Chains A and B, each alone.
Chain A
Amino acid sequence: REIDVLWTLKSGASTESSAAEPFVCSKFIVAIGHNAAAFLSSFILDSVCWEVVGVVKLWNEWCRTSNTTKVLPTDSFCLFYRLISDPTVLLCQCSCYVAEDQQFQWLEKVFGCMQKEGLQVTILSTCPVADYKTQESTLTLPSPFLKALKTKEFKEQVCCPLLEQPNIVRDLPAAVLSYCQVWQIPAVLYQCYTDVIKLDTVTIEAFKPLLSSKILKSLVKDVSESTKILKKLLTTNETHNNIYI
């Protein structure tokens, strides 16, 4: 099952990923899943400083990506944004599920377009707390909580404890981190273990410690903006939940 990555890097003209020359990227931030994507929407992204530069089109048994770039936080989409003031900063929100036979393709088509020297990758993702293996029962754990995994080359401070054995990470976050480990790209994955499956503000706020990290510090937007967006998320969610009233 093919996936297509369409880049619009030069003034609106769409180019297939294979035709484009590798562009220089210093920071690549990937948010996988609705909550991680919403975190970036609330605290980092806005329409003034960031422009859409790419979109992934795919479908599988779980989802089909939407065709527009004006997406709701609850939609399935995969978009790439670039910071206008520093075009080497790339951000990706991937709230669609990328199936196991598509994950390698995603990696090749996305990383294939980037120059890998000087690149640093940050991955945000969520996962059910029931998957977390620990000596105590997961019921007593204060969730949501963050755990991190980093590649050998990543030398900076990590904002939360590392993920202990025997826990593992799967799917696209694992695929991206494996790629970075093998190709010696410094990368860090922040996994948020949460007990809420849908879009949820508590889960989103669990990513807040990352705002003080070296990578994201310079990109954080105005705090009042963030609270407004978070509130908006809450209301969009609620309308869906009132279906039986």
Chain B
Amino acid sequence: LLQPAVSVGNVGQLATDLVISTLNMTKVGYFYTDCLVPMVGNNPYATAEENSMELSINAEVYSSPSKKLVVLQIRSPFIKNKYRPFCQTLFSWVKSSKCARVVLLSSSHAYQRDDEQLLGTPLRYLLTPDLEKAVGGLMQELNWKEMEKVAAYPGINDTEKVLHIPGGGITKLLFTESCSKGIQMAVLLKFCSEGDNIPDAFALVNYLNEWLQLIKSKVNTSSQWKIPSSWRLLFGNGLPPALF
């Protein structure tokens, strides 16, 4: 199961859009919940007049049987106080659908990085103990960097370290719950800031591809991914001619 966390720059969601759009995944269901702000719109992955009229809601499930991949796309923010109920609903679904692994795409505030994190790759991963056993070695081979822990009480006591994902939304909650529930979960995240997050989305989805090999890629070519039609006009309408 691949899903985004609603986080800084919406990078996880944008990356998920790229996966759904490129692999031409079919919508198989809705994740109907009272935890997300409602929204509707017409098919965001429309490629032609015929398929543009299907209604989409705030949380939908897509699948690609050939790749044994199920994707949950989340399109709106959480309603206050609904983080935990959402996580619980999600986990009970993961359990009942006998999902083998969960991959969470997320992001974290770039300005919270320490000196060391400012250098090198802005991409990080996290694995729950159960998944570590299975793919930990692969991560080493890919030369991936694990998300560093930070001091619980910086300046006062540097020995106690905790996981801190500022701007990650429910990422930390989902990860810690997965660890304790024995769910195999991987978190892939990128440090970024709000703004034009399309390049961040490409970076994250290419990172994901290094592991899952969803599409055949030459080294770092972002043109392999298909941009959904709904990404038009992300930064507003055309300008009024009278302005000039």
Contacts and interface: CB of A to CB of B under 8 A. Distances in A.
B237 A133 contact: yes
B40 A174 contact: yes
Interface in B224-244: 229-234, 236-242
Interface residues of A, number: 35
A165 B41 contact: yes
A165 B52 contact: yes
Given A101-B80, A133-B233, A175 B38 contact: yes
A150 B52 CA distance: 12
A169 B237 contact: no
B38 A163 contact: no
Contact of B240 (A104, A135, A137, A182): A137
Interface residues of B, number: 34
Contacts of A66: none
Interface in B185-244: 229-234, 236-242
Interface string A133-164: 11111111000000001111000000000111
Contacts of A164: 42, 52
A178 B40 contact: yes
A172 B37 CA distance: 10
Nearest to A104: B34
**Which of B39, B81, B231 has the most chain A CB atoms inside 10 A of its CB?**
B39
A151 B57 CA distance: 10
A136 B241 CA distance: 9
**Which of B38, B54, B232, B242 has the most chain A CB atoms inside 10 A of its CB?**
B38
B47 to A, nearest CB: 11
Interface in A10-25: none
A150 B230 CA distance: 18
A181 B30 contact: yes
Interface of A: 100-101, 103-104, 132-140, 149-152, 162-172, 174-175, 177-178, 181-182, 189
20 contacts: A100-B79, A103-B38, A104-B38, A134-B238, A135-B233, A135-B238, A137-B241, A139-B240, A140-B241, A149-B42, A162-B53, A165-B43, A165-B46, A167-B41, A174-B38, A174-B57, A174-B58, A175-B38, A181-B55, A181-B57
